[in-house]
Structure 1
Amino acid sequence: MQRIEVNLARNGYIIEVGTGFLTGDGPDRVDFGRWLKGRTCLVITDDNVAPLYSEKLRRRLKDGGAERVELITFPAGEGSKTLATVTGFYGEMVKRGCDRKTLILALGGGVCGDMAGFCAATYMRGVDYIQIPTTLLAQVDSSVGGKTGVDLPEGKNLVGAFKQPLHVWIDVATLSTLPVRELRSGLAEVVKYGVIMDRDFFSFLEQHAEALSALEWPVVNHVVSHCCRLKARVVMEDEEDRSGRRAILNYGHTFGHALEKVGGFARFTHGEAVAVGMMMAAELCVRRDPQRFSSLLNRQENLWQRLNLPRYAEGFDPGQVLAAMRSDKKYENGRTCLVLPRELGCCAVEYDVPESEIVEAIRARCR
């Protein structure tokens, strides 16, 4: 079991990464009891994850001392990530007698964690919650850092709050039940860390791409734990996105969120859109300085191919993608704002990038 500390001024917590403590088919065990005695536990999950793990989690919570365990499910997918869905959670919680001592457990992927966390941040002005991510994307990214929220028709994550979890429990064995496409989505967030923070980690991924795709557990454990350490480091430096340091985690995301929106949240998963968005960001850099950035683009291209990540947004209109980017919350007062590499392993936020350059980078990946 790997333990990663997220040391914050207040509300710090531990991330535990292991194999089998939820699925029951691995060597690791966790102490569920430390927060449960006498409390009502509310498990929020989607209708894909519920049949796989909700009963196993319920038994562990009861064995750990929970007084009562309630379950709320919602339809899986980004389309459920709305205020209407969370409003439904509130109503169910009132009906079931949930109070300020209720502990919410987010069991699922990024959509589940974002909504359950937002519900925890707002129900009765705040209740505790724990993240139990079951997708690779959520394990290496969205479950760590306290960003919660929902989408609006105008764009992704436009309503939300910072709410740190009490704890993050990651059982990598849950990845064995993940559809291939969802696993691929998580791989996009994994490789992002190599580009923005850690060139040695990028090289490790190049050396172990096939083992990672095949879910060889020692490799998976190392990758998930290392990504959590990198994410925790950034969160500790800039917990609430005030200094701009945390913005580097958005590499590829401004392009990616626009692709998701233009595609009606159906053409690409989040990770797939980010994968293409990172290629667009690299294309922009190459167009500015081919000699400096061609190697980075080529290494991204090669690793993306080996991990079967999408590299193009075929059939998309560059003008529509650019228009969608303008509503991204990372734009400030109408100023363009992108995370761009300086070299492999180092990125920076850049403002006022000319839209002419942006649209050409988009066009290069919209063949």
Structure 2
Amino acid sequence: MTEELANDTTTVIEVDGEATYPILVGRGLLDCVPALLGPQPAKILIVHSAAVGRVAEDLRDALQPHYGQVLLAEVPDDEPTKRIEVASFCWQILGQAEFTRTDAVISIGGGVVVDLAGFVASAWQRGLRLVQIPTTVLAMVEVAIGGENGVNTAEGKNAVGTLYPPAAVVCDVDLAVTLTRAEILTAFAEIAKCGFIAEPEILELLESDLERTTDPSTPEFRRAIELAIRVKARALSHGGGGAELLHYGYALGRAIEHAERYQWRHGAALAVGMMYAAELGRMTGALSDAAVERHRKILSSLSLPLTYPAGRWSGLLAMMQRGAQAGPGMLRFVVLDDIAKPRVLTGVDDSMLQFAYQEVSS
């Protein structure tokens, strides 16, 4: 399959972990979907957001000659609506159309749609074939890869979910051209993170020409997307070093997201989290002043926040401890000894954690 799909304009990146599946990166890739689905499905459900309704309709029309029935399910693409009731709406469609385990689900949309469709596919008949087609930068480089799916409840974000890898992920960078500038810049926090922990070429692209690197129409944009995907695919694959290193900036970032009731974009919270991790790395390890300043310059060039209010530390610390199910001194942080040299730091005294926070507080 990989050899069949690879060509001069398409890159195929394999995730080789508990499950093996391809991630396609390129332009105009929707023609590859029938090959990814295979001949077995008789019925297909395309779960999509309103913003990409025309794309979903065009894909339905292209698939219809190959399969018995292709249905559309439009769902909201905002975090508060990622609920079990919306998943139930999709299951109702599957049930009424008598989908069986040999049938398939396709997602087309941002992170919420990808999460939701993955959860729907994983639970129906104990698992339908799933092809994810992310249409936002964050979904391409983070949400669609790894098989983590879920819905939100009153008890928390993604409180109910599954680990269910897709059959394939299709990252057609042409689908990102409709995104706002703010959406792209904020999502680039995840891409910059991959540069800091593993792939300095990403940082060099951003430093040399930020405008072109964040413009979906350019080769530089596609290259940055591809490099970030390679970082995550390697981490998830056997012998790749493990997924924990992908959590650079996540400890404080996730606490900020929770404190802000998820009204902050993920990339904004992650940016503050990475600055905090950089300061912690400088205080407890070998990270140089120059590397910390490089964080500051790159993240600020993306118009991302670098600080958070000083009086919020106690609540953030409690949230980090709760999220890690750990007591004082037991938190785990990913820090850097240098660019592309991450490690896990444990057993840090609370006073040092607070001191590092003072460096990123406003």
Question: TM-score, length-normalised on structure 2?
Answer: 0.88
Between 247-256 and 277-286, the greater mean CA deviation after superposition: 277-286
Task: Output aligned runs, 1:96-245, within 5 Å.
Answer: 96-237=97-238, 245=242
Query: Which residue, 57, 60, 65 being the options, matches 1:58?
Result: 60
Aligned partner letter, 2:267: G
Residues 333 and 58 of structure 1: CA distance in aligned 2, closer, same or farther (over 3 Å)? farther
TM-fit CA distance, 1:251 = 0.8
Q: CA RMSD in A?
A: 2.5
Query: Which residue, 276, 282, 287 being the options, matches 1:280?
Result: 276
Query: Which residue, 230, 255, 280 being the options, matches 2:252?
Result: 255
2-side partners of 1:287 and 1:11: how far apart? Answer: 39
Aligned partner letter, 1:4: V
Residues 12 and 321 of structure 1: CA distance in aligned 2, closer, same or farther (over 3 Å)? same
**Match of residue 289 from structure 2:** 294
Unaligned runs of at least 5 residues, structure 2: 1-8
**Match of residue 320 from structure 1:** 315
Residues 9 and 337 of structure 1: CA distance in aligned 2, closer, same or farther (over 3 Å)? closer
TM-fit CA distance, 1:175 = 1.1
Structure 1 moving runs of 4+ over 4 Å: 330-334
Residues 46 and 338 of structure 1: CA distance in aligned 2, closer, same or farther (over 3 Å)? same
1-side partners of 2:181 and 2:197: how far apart? Answer: 25
Aligned partner letter, 1:18: G
For residues 297-326 of structure 1, what are the alpha-carbon distances to aligned partners after superposition, in whole Å with 9 as ceiling and x for unaligned? Answer: 100111112222222235772222222222
TM-fit CA distance, 1:333 = 7.0
1-side partners of 2:326 and 2:84: how far apart? Answer: 24
For residues 27-65 of structure 1, what are the alpha-carbon distances to aligned partners after superposition, in whole Å with 9 as ceiling and x for unaligned? Answer: xx4252552545211111233333x422122222224x1
**Match of residue 49 from structure 1:** 52
Q: Helix, strand or coil for the counterpart of 2:361?
A: coil
Is residue 5 from structure 1 mapped to residue 1 from structure 2 by the alignment? no
CA contact under 8 A between 2:272 and 2:360: conserved in structure 1?
A: yes
**Match of residue 25 from structure 1:** none
Residue identity over aligned pairs, in percent, reads 28
CA contact under 8 A between 2:191 and 2:202: conserved in structure 1?
A: no
2-side partners of 1:185 and 1:293: how far apart? Answer: 26
Between 200-209 and 175-184, the greater mean CA deviation after superposition: 200-209
For residues 341-363 of structure 1, what are the alpha-carbon distances to aligned partners after superposition, in whole Å with 9 as ceiling and x for unaligned? Answer: 12111211222333333333334
1-side partners of 2:74 and 2:317: how far apart? Answer: 35
2-side partners of 1:49 and 1:261: how far apart? Answer: 29
2-side partners of 1:153 and 1:343: how far apart? Answer: 40
Aligned partner letter, 1:280: Y
Q: Helix, strand or coil for the counterpart of 1:144?
A: coil
2-side partners of 1:352 and 1:155: how far apart? Answer: 27
For residues 195-234 of structure 1, what are the alpha-carbon distances to aligned partners after superposition, in whole Å with 9 as ceiling and x for unaligned? Answer: 1112343223322322112334211121111222221111
Aligned partner letter, 1:246: A
CA contact under 8 A between 2:37 and 2:131: conserved in structure 1?
A: no
TM-fit CA distance, 1:94 = 1.7
TM-fit CA distance, 1:8 = 2.8
Aligned partner letter, 1:302: K
CA contact under 8 A between 1:338 and 1:353: conserved in structure 2?
A: no
2-side partners of 1:302 and 1:92: how far apart? Answer: 49
Aligned partner letter, 1:341: L
- What is the aligned residue count? 352
**Match of residue 74 from structure 1:** 75
2-side partners of 1:5 and 1:216: how far apart? Answer: 21
1-side partners of 2:107 and 2:353: how far apart? Answer: 37
TM-fit CA distance, 1:172 = 0.3
CA contact under 8 A between 2:47 and 2:108: conserved in structure 1?
A: yes
Residues 209 and 39 of structure 1: CA distance in aligned 2, closer, same or farther (over 3 Å)? same
Residues 352 and 83 of structure 1: CA distance in aligned 2, closer, same or farther (over 3 Å)? farther
1-side partners of 2:87 and 2:22: how far apart? Answer: 26
CA contact under 8 A between 1:184 and 1:272: conserved in structure 2?
A: no
CA contact under 8 A between 2:186 and 2:268: conserved in structure 1?
A: yes
**Match of residue 17 from structure 1:** 25
Aligned partner letter, 2:277: A
Question: TM-score, length-normalised on structure 1?
Answer: 0.87
TM-fit CA distance, 1:338 = 1.4
Aligned partner letter, 1:47: A
Unaligned runs of at least 5 residues, structure 1: 23-28
Residues 97 and 103 of structure 1: CA distance in aligned 2, closer, same or farther (over 3 Å)? same
2-side partners of 1:209 and 1:193: how far apart? Answer: 16
**Match of residue 354 from structure 1:** 349
Between 158-167 and 90-99, the greater mean CA deviation after superposition: 90-99
